Amino acid sequence: MFNPDTLSLFKNTETPFYFYDLQLLNQTLIACKKAADKFGFHVHYALKANFNQKILDAVFQQGFGADCVSGNEVKAAIKTGFNPEKVVFAGVGKSDREINEALDLDIFCFNAESVQELEVINILAGKKNKIARIALRINPNVDALTHKYITTGLEENKFGINQWELAACVNAFKECKYLEFMGIHFHIGSQITNLDVFKSLCIKANEIHQWFNERGFQLKILNVGGGLGVDYHHPDENPIVDFDSYFQIFDKFLERKPGQEIHFELGRALVAHCGSLISRVLYVKNGLKKNFLILDAGMTELMRPALYQAYHMIERLNGYQMSEIGSQISDLKSQASNLLSPTSNLQPPITKYDVVGPICESTDCFGKEVELPQTKRGDLIAVRTAGAYGEVMASGYNLRDRVKFLYLQ
């Protein structure tokens, strides 16, 4: 992933920073668009995964819509150039101000998450004499088979409208004259790698779709959310997700009527692999039981490992250096047995490290027992596949500096 030019750029850049490979991003976006277009599917990019302006610009240029979860994300999408007709606004707790702003911007659709929210949107739209387009976010009670902290489609989760409340929604649509019922929306979780989960979602969506049809509602859109996972363990072998297989599941199992639009809200699958967090080793601490690499980046820059025990591949970037080889050659000279196969020993020895950040929290750890070539102060470390839910979840805890960026155009 990192060629010598990129590495020499890294060496002269202050750390920590996010590195975004915009070439890989564009290849990923093109692959996704091509696969979706084959079936006439519409993809809205979930801004929450990464709203770095260069990323938004690239996503917009490739013709995606925008899936937003706050008023500020809606405004960022419109400012980037996304047509309001391609902007949807989801979120379990939209404030009155956010709803008003989205109404003023004439966005395509609100994904409403409760009966009370329907009533509030109706009142606010009425005051402006506008019609708000609505998709109902329904909790389908389908297990995403992913980490429990990023599962959203089970009845125990706060998201969406439960199925026993659908009758109340139907009544609300009859009474609320400033709402236009557009369709149904689901999002069952994130980092889903078992595609059978999406088949289960389709089957459940078909039942709910049918339920509405039986009550005389013809739905214009079926929105199946996002959630497609990426390979955190092999970012170089699988840098672009298999979008074809993913969309094929929906083409095969999701029943759609003529003229009906199928919408997706992908985040991670589009941006995760293009980003890495680049950091320098501040200190190496060798203990009796453990060795620690203390980096200048921590959970304030990339929170996922601390928050979800998430795995990210960690690499030492220097390659092996002449000084290391020199010292090993002198070792070899003094060890006659090693001279029989000198080349096999020209790599720095592999050592196990707990790779940690500088923050005053024990969970500030990027990886435990990570095997790396022996590492020293000043070496560069890459934490890979950090393009999704990395920079956007950064915090100012410990009054840290804001994380910086470097782009490969």
Query: Where does this chain bind ligand LLP (CB under 6 A)?
Result: 46, 48-49, 67, 90, 150, 187, 190-191, 225-228, 265-269, 304, 308, 388-389
Does a cis peptide bond (omega within 30 degrees of 0) precede residue 140? no
Nearer to ligand LLP, 32 or 294 (CB): 32
3-state secondary structure of 137: strand
Residue with Cβ nearer ligand LLP (132 or 188)? 188
Q: How far is the CB of 270 from ligand LLP (least distance, A)?
A: 8
How far is 402 from 383, CA to CA, in rounded Å? Answer: 18
Neighbours of 76 (CB within 10 A): 17
Distance, in Å, from the CA atom of 331 to the CA atom of 316, rounded to the nearest integer, reads 23
Which CB atom, from 224 or from 382, has the smaller least distance to ligand LLP?
224
Q: Which is nearer to ligand LLP, 356 or 392 (CB)?
A: 392
Give the side-chain half-sphere CA count within 13 A for 394: 24
d(CA 339, CA 294): 35
Q: Tally Cβ neighbours within 10 Å of residue 177.
A: 11
Taking the mean position of all CA atoms in its chain, how far away is CA 182?
A: 26
User: Which residues in 197-349 belong to E strands, given as ranges?
Assistant: 221-223, 261-266, 275-286, 291-295, 314-316
Q: At its nearest, how many Å lie between ligand LLP and the CB of residue 128? A: 25
273, 303, 270: which is closest to 66 by C-alpha? Answer: 270
Nearer to ligand LLP, 269 or 382 (CB): 269
- Residue 261: CB minimum distance to ligand LLP, A: 16
187 versus 256: smaller Cβ distance to ligand LLP: 187
Residue 269 or 381 with smaller CB distance to ligand LLP: 269
Give the nearer residue to ligand LLP in terms of CB position, either 225 or 358. Answer: 225
Question: Residue 183 Cβ, how far from ligand LLP at the closest point, in Å?
Answer: 14
Phi, psi of 263 (to 5 degrees): -115, 145
SS (H, E, C) 352-409: EEEEECCCCCCCCEEEEEEEEECCCCCCEEEECCCCCCCHHHCCCHHHCCCCEEEEEC
| In 121-213, beta strands by DSSP E | 132-137, 179-185
| Min dist. Cβ of residue 232 to ligand LLP (A) | 10
Measured distance CA(183)–CA(260) in Å, rounded: 9
CA distances from 184 to 75, 144, 150, 215, 252 (A): 24, 18, 21, 14, 19
Q: Minimum distance between the CB of residue 254 and ligand LLP, rounded to whole angstroms?
A: 17
Nearer to ligand LLP, 253 or 308 (CB): 308
Give the C-alpha separation, 95 to 115, whole Å.
Answer: 15
- Between 58 and 228, name the residue whose CB sits nearer to ligand LLP: 228
Residues whose CB falls within 8 Å of the CB of residue 81, separated by 6 or more in sequence, listed in order: 60
Minimum Å gap between C-beta 231 and ligand LLP is 14
Smallest distance, ligand LLP to C-beta of residue 153, A = 10
Cβ at position 191, least distance to ligand LLP in Å: 6
| CB 296, min distance to ligand LLP, A | 22
